[in-house]
Amino acid sequence: MSYDHLIVETEGRVGIVTLHRPAARNALSTPLVNELGAALEAFEQDPAIGAIVLTGGDQVFAAGADIKELQEAGFVDIFLADFPHGRAAAWKRMATLRKPVIAAVAGFALGGGCELAMACDFILAADTAVFGQPEVLLGTMPGAGGTQRLARVVGKSKAMEMCLTGRRMDAQEAERAGLVSRVVPVAELRAEAVKAAATIAALSLPAVMMIKESVNAAYETPLAEGLRLERRAFQSTFATEDRREGMAAFAAKRKPEFKGR
Ligand code: DAK
C-alpha cells in the first residue's frame, strides 16, 4: 500500500511509521489518521514485525487535529460521524493493538498529537519535545484521552493546569512528571527508538504481549483484579516454548533463541 501522509518502513523486525505532513506540522487530518490506522493494522497483522515505532520525524510530532478541517463542523456532524469520518475507529484500534508501539517525539506534540503519543505504550522524547493540550485556547477541550491519560500519568494538578490553561511542558519537565520514559538528543531519537523496539522485537512475542496487556490493566482495574490478571498471565508463560528456551539458555550460559511460540 502507498501512503500520502506517512512514511512506512521496516528495519529488521521493527515497523516504523513516520507522520509526514510537514507543511501542516503533521496535523492529524482525516486522510492521515485513516492511513495511520491502516499502517498500524498492517504491522499488527505482519508476523515479521515484533514492535512498532511511531514518530513525526525530527522537527514536529503532530500539531493535533486538523483545525482547518474542523472549523466549519457542527455538533451533529461531529456526533454522527463519531468525530469526523470514522476517524474514531482508527483511534480505538490504536488503543487495542497488541504489539508494542513506541512514540518517538521531537518538537511539538500538541492536542491530538499529545493524545496520540500517550496512546502509545511509552514515549521516548527528544530534547526538543514539547507537550501540550491547547484545545481550551480554541474554545474546545481534549477529546481523545487528554483529560484522562494525562491525569493518570502526571497527576491532577499538572493535568488540570495544562488542560485549563494550555501551558506546554518541555521534555525535561515531561521526564520529571513521568510522561516520557527518557530524553535523548534529537539527533539520536530515531536510532534510540528503533534500538528499543528491536530489543523488544527480539524477545518472546507472547510474553511481550502479556506484559503490555498486564501493564495496561493497571490503568483500568482495581489492584486485586490487576494482580490476579498479572499472576494468571505469568503462569501462562509457562505454556510457551519461549519460556522454556529462555530459562534453558540462561542455565546453559548461551543466548536464547525465541520463536514467538
Ligand atoms: N491544524 C491545521 N493546520 C495546522 C495545525 C493544525 N493543528 N497546526 C499547524 N498548522 C498549519 C498552520 O496553519 C500553517 O499553515 P500555513 O499558514 O502555512 O498554510 C502551518 O501548519 C505552519 O504552522 P505555523 O506557522 O503555526 O508553525 P509554527 O512552527 O510557527 O508553530 C505550532 C507550530 C504547532 C506551535 C502552531 O502551528 C500551533 O499552535 N498549531 C495548533 C496547535 C493546536 O492548537 N492543536 C490542538 C488542535 S485540537 C479526537 C481526536 C483528536 C482530537 C480530539 C478528539 N477523537 C478521536 C474523538 C484532537 C483535537 C485537537 O488536537
The per-residue pLDDT for 140 is 96
Does the pLDDT value for residue 125 go beyond 80? yes
Does the pLDDT value for residue 101 go beyond 80? yes
Band the pLDDT of 73: cuts 50, 70, 90: confident
| 211 Cβ below 6 A of ligand 1 | no
Does the pLDDT value for residue 109 go beyond 60? yes
Q: Which one from 107, 112, 132, 246 is the annotated catalytic residue?
A: 112
The DSSP call for residue 220 is: T
The per-residue pLDDT for 185 is 98
| 186 Cβ below 6 A of ligand 1 | no
Band the pLDDT of 165: cuts 50, 70, 90: very high
Residue 39: C-alpha distances to residues 9, 16, 43, 158, 190 (Å): 10, 9, 6, 33, 18
Band the pLDDT of 85: cuts 50, 70, 90: low
From ligand 1's centre to the CA of 43, what distance in Å?
28
Please identify, by atom number, the ligand 1 atom nearest to the C-alpha of residue 87: 56
What does the alpha-carbon distance between residue 124 and residue 144 come to, in Å, rounded to a whole number? 20
What does the alpha-carbon distance between residue 126 and residue 190 come to, in Å, rounded to a whole number? 9
| 63 Cβ below 6 A of ligand 1 | yes
What does the alpha-carbon distance between residue 159 and residue 178 come to, in Å, rounded to a whole number? 12
From ligand 1's centre to the CA of 63, what distance in Å?
4
Q: What is the pLDDT of residues 231-245, one digit of tens each?
A: 999 999 999 999 999
The per-residue pLDDT for 79 is 84
| 21 Cβ below 6 A of ligand 1 | no
The per-residue pLDDT for 131 is 98
| 66 Cβ below 6 A of ligand 1 | yes
Does the pLDDT value for residue 217 go beyond 70? yes
Testing ligand 1's pocket by substitution, the residue of 21, 29, 32, 67 carrying the most ligand atoms inside 8 A of its CB is: 67
Q: Which one from 39, 51, 63, 65 is the annotated catalytic residue?
A: 65
Share of the chain above pLDDT 90, in %: 89
**Structural contact between residues 84 and 73, judged by C-beta atoms closer than 8 angstroms:** yes
| 242 Cβ below 6 A of ligand 1 | no
| Mean pLDDT in residue range 70-92 | 78
pTM for the full predicted model: 0.96
C-alpha cell at 195: 534500538
Verify whether residue 135 is a known catalytic residue: yes
216 by DSSP, 3-state: which? helix
* DSSP codes joined into one string, 103-132: EEE-SEEETHHHHHHHHSSEEEEETT-EEE
Does the pLDDT value for residue 92 go beyond 60? yes
